[in-house]
Structure 1
């Protein structure tokens, strides 16, 4: 492991040691500065070095009480300058404390204390050395105090900027995950709806045809044989649609070919043939000028017709049903009627408009998903009616 990383982690666990660490170079510099003469080295002035070390003691708690430490070190630095004549270097502990205050404290407090320290250091130096506050030495103390504060604010601003950028990145990632979960939930509902339509339709037909075959097996073997053939065809079609629908779960993406084949309105005649074979007479009529429509509209219309006919055959005891496709300039109107009875107990599309069954709910959900509507209820002359109004073209989804 990198030594630098280990060292930083150790310092993060020992904040008092980390806070006091700048005192070491400050004392070393103070001892070296007092040992330098005009022409040669001499013994350090240990009294001045001791005062410097003493002024650095508050730094051990600078991250906990930055304002108090800044004021205490400023007072100690000014006292050292006043009591020990000949000090020409600015008090290092005060500069470190000003930097810490600017890094951890508020901007107004940091600049107020920084300006106070700059003026006080300049004034005391001018008074103890008999010079002008605007001389080079006086301005040096003013500048270093302001520079320490400015450096602390710059580091603080950079950290705040990085924290905001990290927060935005985390928020964006969270939103992406939430959007992905939402899309998965929508896709699961869509696949579950397709599975419901496929299974309900084909199993209903298979059940009806099996009943016909069972009834005619002894009296009319030829008709029973045809019913069994229809059962075979419907079960194969059910397996094919189930395989295509469940296969969506294995697709790595939503490529255009991943959902093929998709039932279309051109397949309604074949759908009607399946119901006719099971004993329900279905008539499909088209009016208006057929116009190009979105694939989602075709699929929705097909599934609504499929679900309505399935419920009619399963619950309404109907003998005839009619499907009307009326093409308008901007919408497609799908009407499915039958001559059966209404059964509110079932809670299906034959439920006298109760709308409590999964079939009718699924129809409405499909239509609402593409901006259409579905209404259902008993007809005054008898039977039941489902009407769907679907847009031919879909508006782009807003982001």
Structure 2
């Protein structure tokens, strides 16, 4: 039976900041009670006030325990030593135990253990030098125990993460093996059928043209079915569970000019430069050019407001290159492309790799961001990327534009 309202409260309590604030209040409660009471009760000694103040200060330091674990641990230890030296109290405060637990939980093991050991020695020496007592040895052992508990939970968390990551990787590999088997079955079956049908049509074409035409129509239908099944399987590798497969209609290098115009209409100053003689491109390369420009212009508009962009489309003899430059100062990669079907820079890299090309992305020396992709035309040898002098000249044209 579920109690209404419990889940939202639990979600709030699981937030690290909320947990740290509640923990701070819990640790500070004894000090918050004793500090005002020490001024009300006539017999209260200044030592009680000092100890209560140390408790409150140590609790407040815990607010930064996740971001500054070492500093918080040293602060709480300093308060403990000060309290032990100038008051009759010589017990480690709860804030110190929490701080050293956090030290073991969020810092490297060597740093945590060395800090705890040095602290134990310092506290013991301070008590021996001032009071001739070894009470602080027990406090040092408690701090070492707190570090050990924190380190234990850290190892447990890391092992659980590794198991989850390993399980996810195994699931992905299993799914890819299943899809590979299905692709193999589709290709092996349909290609074999098409081969038989085409051979039969060739042998009967002279003697029975009607029969040959019927056989060839069947082969065409079989090829279309094979393409449809292969397309569906490939979409599984890229499409999300609740997204439609990517639509390639109206997508290609010829539509890059439309993309630039749309970017201008959306408020992004953009320019297009085409070098070489435009030529028909293979479907994969054609789509990749379009998506790279689309993703780059979208990211510039979203992450570098006020920047100017320039698109360079270069048709070479054996390859096509596309380069998108901007002069923004706050561009940060990430996110999806405008269609929702891409995966940011990783999606660009996958597209270019599938075309056998090379992708270069990164900040420009004079500010802004650069995306450069070069993809060979299938059937021709790939050439090395453009030399730096040519890239510099393109950058200079973009800067002047």
TM-score by length of 2: 0.45
Larger Rg: 1
TM-score by length of 1: 0.46
